[in-house]
Structure 1
């Protein structure tokens, strides 16, 4: 007596693509929320408006990257310097995003 098993995986790849798309949508949404969080809750005086408008994010399969691309005239990363002086530029949004992503995916 032989047992024959026949599997059809033709719908597996579309299923995985759909899951990846949903994942990226959620991660991107949380990235925008973190950008807005940092704009609202940054603990520094933004005299030029550069720091707050330079908060950005990238969503990918690997996860969420938050960054601030403000560069001082002499080339250094201005947001890092401000964070180094004890002010919140991106760190508050990073903690916010961590909490939100845990809520979304647990």
Structure 2
């Protein structure tokens, strides 16, 4: 006796789930960049530091970064450039995917 099964919809199910996770990370990344821009505790005379916040989503996850060479220096001086927003984004993702 042979039993035939059709699993053609399984691949679409996993692809849909993968897209939902990527979309959530994109939304959180975008919100994180906006959060950093709005809540940075430094004076940005040139607007370069505030507009250098960006995010990337790939199969490894979400990466938030500031591409200004001196961003880490400003954070080391005690000002918030991106670190607080990154921690809040991480917390939000953990809550979403619990």
Whether the TM-score (by the shorter chain) exceeds 0.5 is yes
Alignment of 1:97 onto 2:89: yes
Q: Show structure 1 runs of 5+ residues with no match.
A: 71-76
- Identify, as 1 or 2, the structure richer in helix: 2
Q: TM-score, normalised by structure 1?
A: 0.84
Shift of 1:85: 1.4
Unmatched 5+ stretches in structure 2: none
- Tell me which stretches of 4 or more aligned residues in structure 1 moved more than 6 Å: none
Paired residues, what number? 98
Give the TM-score normalised by structure 2. Answer: 0.91
Does 2:19 match 1:21?
yes
Q: Residues of 1 paired with 2:84 and 2:4: CA distance?
A: 52
Answer with 1 or 2: which has the greater Rg. Answer: 1
- Whole-angstrom distance in 1 between the partners of 2:46 and 2:17: 41
